[in-house]
């Protein structure tokens, strides 16, 4: 009786442990693969990445245009469409300055288009 309970516990342990250890990993991997899918070459900072991603989501909500959604995130947010989204979303100047820094970190280099035109 006792050894049977142990067997059940061991079996449960063997089933559950891989599930629990797999969950957080796949969660992080999906976020990371998203980062790499966008061809970001800098540092993955969740706060920064999701703030930038949010700009594109908000922009998409405004226009409901899938091409805007795609272009905004194109090449790790470096297409001019990202800048256009900042403009239409009326992002304040201080925040644009901060987002410019975020882009630099996430891309590993300064963005190719000129943000100063937006302000």
Give the footprint of ligand NAG on this chain (CB under 6 A).
Answer: 24, 27-28, 45, 47-48, 71, 74-75, 78-80, 112-113
Taking the C-alpha atoms of residue 98 and residue 95, their distance in angstroms, rounded to an integer, is 5
Taking the C-alpha atoms of residue 111 and residue 109, their distance in angstroms, rounded to an integer, is 6
Asked if 86 contacts 55 with a C-beta cutoff of 8 angstroms, the reply is: yes
Q: Minimal distance in Å, beta carbon 20 to ligand NAG?
A: 13
CA distances from 114 to 9, 29, 97 (A): 61, 32, 12
User: For residues 10 and 112, which CB has a smaller minimum distance to ligand NAG in the complex?
Assistant: 112
Nearer to ligand NAG, 9 or 67 (CB): 67
Smallest distance from the beta carbon of 62 to ligand NAG, in angstroms? 19
Closest to ligand NAG by CB, 11 or 37: 37
Tell the residue number behind the tokens 């991997």, with chain if given.
29
In the complex, minimum distance from the CB of residue 51 to ligand NAG, in angstroms, rounded to a whole number: 8
- Element counts in the chain: helices (H) and strands (E): 5, 0
Q: Is the CB of 30 or the CB of 61 nearer to ligand NAG?
A: 30
């Amino acid at each position: 009786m006792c050894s049977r309970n142990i067997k059940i516990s061991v079996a449960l342990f063997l089933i559950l442990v891989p599930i629990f250890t797999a969950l957080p990993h796949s969660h992080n991997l999906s976020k990371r693969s998203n980062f790499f899918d966008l061809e970001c070459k800098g540092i993955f900072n969740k706060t920064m990445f999701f703030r930038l991603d949010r700009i594109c989501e908000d922009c998409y909500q405004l226009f409901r245009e899938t091409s805007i959604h795609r272009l905004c995130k194109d090449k790790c947010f470096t297409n001019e469409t990202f800048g256009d989204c900042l403009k239409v979303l009326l992002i304040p100047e201080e925040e644009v300055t901060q987002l410019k820094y975020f882009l630099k970190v996430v891309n590993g280099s300064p963005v190719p288009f000129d943000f100063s035109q937006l302000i």
